[in-house]
Amino acid sequence: MTPGKLSFLITGTHRSGSGILAAMLQAHPDVRMAIGGRHEHLLGAVPEAAATVANRLRGFRAACEADSKGQAGIWGSRIAADPLTANGICDDESAIEPFLSEFADLKHIFVARDGRTYIRSMLLHEGHSIDVASRSWLFFVKLLRSSRQQRANVTLVKFEELMLNPAQALLGICEFLGLEYSPELLSAGSGRGLDREETQVSPLPSRVARRIKNELQYCGYLDPTEATPTADFLDEASLLSELQEEVSVMAQQLNYQMTQRRAEFDQLAERTQKNQLRFSGEVTEREERLTDADRDLRRMVREVDEREERLRNADRDIRRMVREVDEGEERLRNADRDIRRMVRDVEDREERLRNADRDIRRMVRDVEDREERLQNADRDIRRLIREAEDREERLRNADRDIRHLMSEVSDRNQRLVAAEGDLRRFVAELANARRQLQDIHASTVWRLMNAMQRFNSRRSEDSQRK
């Protein structure tokens, strides 16, 4: 391989470990990863003409070559073999030949994942349908098969080996690339979500299992003598386990937000004590401004109470939805209407959060003139922390109630079988609502941290002027 020139290409699908592998190789002292126009895909809005694919691939390689030109080290890049849009047909033959032609001189590292776990991951985390996910995986295997048939310099790395035995997998990759193995590769992947549970195989509908059986055997995931799974649906225990997992994730997010809020309150209390010593002589001049700060803080406390009330309402909605599962198809249609109402509520909450963000920015601009009043705010904050701990305890009790309800639901398997199709759509929509809530919480935390940074900066400037 020639230093300063693109030498190898990592090809995989979404959620197949190709990003983790690229990060590990980036940690090697002799390896550099070209950006290549960033989020490039082999397929765009499919189906599309071969010329369009070839033009995009040439642009992708030109960007990679521009990154590596005149630079030291062995250069590589990464490309996604599944389409940019989830609604297209993933087995477009016209995209394979341009790929083989454009990258014929490179070494290819294909990162494959068991089709059964890949489809499940795309369903749970990306919201794709089972047909789209299966067609995407079949296209990747077809691309791998075509590359091998063209006698390209190809090696196959399995996602499961990268998760369960990363050292052995990386040693083989280094040998393929002609590099010396470095222990730094493992440390680079230690914090990037290597989850062994992602390798556990889940049952698939029989029509999908039959469709991908030959490709599973080709990739070494299924013995030719092994029977094809024929489950037409996931059993009730699996569905309830997924619901429990979603509830657990929401509880973890809530605990994280409460921990972050408690840490911020502690930092605010510490700064309050320091400012009390520094600005004790300015009480008379700032009394009127501190009165305004007190009103703003009281408004913030009311907003926190309103958000916690909305969280309690959301918890009650979840318990109600679990109880409604045993009422069959009619109750599921009612649950669908409840989800639409919840979406509208989320939009309303987002608008209220934007209003709250504007209030916080205005409050931060005034905080530099209101330090003395923060001593009283500290007592309010400590009371809020105690109330938050009580609410966390109530959430844990609610989780135990949900577990008890799910044990009761297990006695109604026959009715859940009939409602299985609608329940899947409900779970997918619930996951979308959860992601939106997470985005809202993350955005709020980010804005608050920025506001505190601006406050610290302005306070430092004020101290320097004095």
Nearest to 83 by CA among 141, 142, 137: 137
Percent of the chain with pLDDT over 70: 78
- Cβ-proximal residues to 421 (8 Å cutoff; 6+ apart), any chain: none
Across 29-43, 285-299, 371-385, 390-404, least confident range: 29-43
Structure token pair of residue 76: 């590589």
Torsion 191-196-199-204 (CA) sign? negative
pLDDT bin (cut points 50, 70, 90) of residue 109 is very high
State residue 425's pLDDT score.
86
CA gap 23, 166 in Å, rounded: 13
State residue 280's pLDDT score.
64
Query: Does the pLDDT value for residue 230 go beyond 60?
Result: no
Conformation bin of residue 36: beta by default, left when phi > 0, alpha when psi is -120 to 50: left
Angle formed by the axes of helices 166-177 and 18-26, nearest 10°: 70
Q: Is 330 exposed, middle or buried (CB count within 10 Å of its CB: 0-12, 13-18, 19+)?
A: exposed
Domain ranges of the chain: 6-218, 236-465
Whole-prediction pTM value?
Answer: 0.48
pLDDT bin (cut points 50, 70, 90) of residue 261 is low
pLDDT bin (cut points 50, 70, 90) of residue 221 is confident
CA gap 310, 315 in Å, rounded: 9
Query: Does the pLDDT value for residue 128 go beyond 70?
Result: yes
Mean pLDDT of 228-233: 42
Contact of 161 with 168, CB cutoff 8 Å: yes
Query: Does the pLDDT value for residue 327 go beyond 80?
Result: no
| Between 280 and 454, the higher pLDDT residue | 454
Query: Does the pLDDT value for residue 239 go beyond 60?
Result: no
SS3 string of the chain? CCCCCEEEEEEECCCCCHHHHHHHHHCCCCEEECCCCCCCECCCCCCCCHHHHHHHHHHHHHHHHHHHCCCCCEEEEEEECCCCCCCCCCCCHHHHHHHHHHCCCCEEEEEECCHHHHHHHHHHHHCCCHHHHHHHHHHHHHHHHHHHHCCCCEEEEEHHHHHHCHHHHHHHHHHHHCCCCCCHHHHHHCCCCCCHHHHCCCCCCHHHHHHHHHHHHHCCCCCCCCCCCCCCCCCHHHHHHHHHHHHHHHHHHHHHHHHHHHHHHHHHHHHHHHHHHHCHHHHHHHHHHHHHHHHHHHHHHHHHHHHHHHHHHHHHHHHHHHHHHHHCHHHHHHHHHHHHHHHHHHHHHHHHHHHHHHHHHHHHHHHCCCCCCHHHHHHHHHHHHHHHHHHHHHHHHHHHHHHHHHHHHHHHHHHHHHCHHHHHHHHHHHHHHHHHHHHHHHHHHHHHHHHHHHHHHHHHHHHHHC
Nearest to 430 by CA among 342, 312, 353: 342
CA distances to 106, 255, 309, 310, 352 from 349, in Å: 51, 20, 12, 9, 5
Mean pLDDT of 285-296: 76
Per-residue pLDDT tens digits for 170-186: 999 999 988 888 888 88
CA gap 409, 403 in Å, rounded: 10
List the beta bridge partners of residue 12. 80
State residue 156's pLDDT score.
93
Query: Does the pLDDT value for residue 232 go beyond 60?
Result: no
CA gap 158, 118 in Å, rounded: 12
| Between 217 and 194, the higher pLDDT residue | 217
Across 46-50, 293-297, 315-319, 414-418, least confident range: 46-50
Structure token pair of residue 459: 């306070």
pLDDT bin (cut points 50, 70, 90) of residue 86 is very low
Conformation bin of residue 38: beta by default, left when phi > 0, alpha when psi is -120 to 50: left
Percent of the chain with pLDDT over 90: 5
| Between 417 and 230, the higher pLDDT residue | 417
Query: Does the pLDDT value for residue 464 go beyond 70?
Result: yes
Structure token pair of residue 45: 């809005």
Question: In which residue are the tokens 């639409």 written?
Answer: 340
Mean pLDDT of 287-300: 79
pLDDT bin (cut points 50, 70, 90) of residue 201 is confident
State residue 80's pLDDT score.
81
List the beta bridge partners of residue 109. 10, 155
Query: Does the pLDDT value for residue 88 go beyond 70?
Result: no
Query: Does the pLDDT value for residue 148 go beyond 50?
Result: yes
List the beta bridge partners of residue 33. 76
CA gap 144, 150 in Å, rounded: 10
Q: Which fold has domain 6-218?
A: Rossmann fold (3.40.50)
Across 92-96, 149-153, 225-229, 416-420, least confident range: 225-229
Mean pLDDT of 278-286: 67
Per-residue pLDDT tens digits for 13-22: 888 888 888 8
CA gap 215, 217 in Å, rounded: 5
Mean pLDDT of 418-447: 83
State residue 234's pLDDT score.
44
State residue 90's pLDDT score.
44
CA gap 204, 119 in Å, rounded: 9
CA gap 53, 8 in Å, rounded: 20
| Between 311 and 93, the higher pLDDT residue | 311
Mean pLDDT of 355-379: 83
The whole-chain average pLDDT of the chain stands at 77
